[in-house]
Amino acid sequence: MYLKPSEIFYSQDSINNVFTSGHKGTYIGDTLDRIIEGRLSYDSLPTITVTKRPGSNKWTTLDNRRLWIFHHLQAQRLCDKIYVNTREYENLSSWDRKKFTNSDGITIITRRNPGGKWHRKISPVRPQDSINNVFTSGHKGTYIGDTLDRIIEGRLSYDSLPTITVTKRSGSNKWTTLDNRRLWIFHHLQAQGLCDKIYVNTREYENLSSWDRRKFTNSNGITIITRRNPGGKWHKKISPVRPKCEDPEPLRVTEQILNHLKYFTVKIALV
């Protein structure tokens, strides 16, 4: 099976700076440099194995050092998809299962200098971002899928959802929001023909707090996943609309608002 590196999450929050098998003893940063400079093919790296933990729909790997390299390579557009081996979580050894931490899987640090130079110049991709499955304000504690069902079935008006705020990052012509759970609902509603345009608040990116700016990831803003079951049933039957960067005016749910995942409060993925 082939996956984008950005679709694979880390299983731990830190990694060693050298390989202990396959390129054994080599600094991971030096390996990255050799690949970027054409002195080594990334195909020489052993194949990554991925798994899904019980109750999760995220692909996660224990091969974190290799994934660290691939996240940098994808950011440089030097690799789009990689071949991976898949394995059932239940078939992992108890030793391997113990290696999983409570890391969100999006970022990772090296415990010592990884060597090389290119990693200092590259902002690596982050795994496909995600959203929590419940609202934490406005319909607080309600499953987003249940909210979608109530709107589709006429038991709730989408006007009851707080207004989305959008912004344009410096150098970008895309309208982006941090209100990803609400946008998830609107993308499904537009696909059902139940909402064409929505009223939004606009805000200059420079006027966002430093805390809000840090929530933006390198996600492309087009798709997003829920980290746990969102509840409801209609989302399983609907293929949500995908944002595009067209027709600057007027704002449409489909065409203009792209999600950049909440990294801190949401740990994850629409971008």
Please list, in sequence order, all residues whose beta carbon lies within 8 angstroms of the beta carbon of residue 245, skipping any fewer than 6 positions away. Answer: 173, 174, 255, 256, 258
Express each pLDDT in 228-258 by its tens digit.
688 899 888 888 877 764 434 444 554 445 5
Rounded average pLDDT over 68-96: 89
Label the pairing between strands 48-51 and 59-61.
antiparallel
Segments of the chain assigned E as strands? 2-3, 8-10, 14-15, 48-51, 59-61, 82-86, 109-110, 130-131, 164-167, 175-177, 200-202, 225-226, 257-259
What tokens were used for 74? 């994808």
d(CA 74, CA 148): 34
Average pLDDT over residues 121-130: 72
CA distance 75 to 84: 19
| Position 154 pLDDT exceeds 60 | yes
- First and final C-alpha spacing in the chain: 23
Q: What is the pTM of this model?
A: 0.54
Query: Hunting for tokens 């406005």 — which residue is that?
Result: 138
Sorted by where each starts, the structural domains of the chain and their CATH numbers stand as 2-120 (3.90.1530), 130-259 (no CATH)
Give yes or no for residue 184 having a pLDDT over 80: yes
Confidence at residue 227, expressed as pLDDT on a 0 to 100 scale: 63
pLDDT given at position 153: 93
Q: What is the pLDDT of residues 83-98, one digit of tens each?
A: 999 999 888 888 787 7
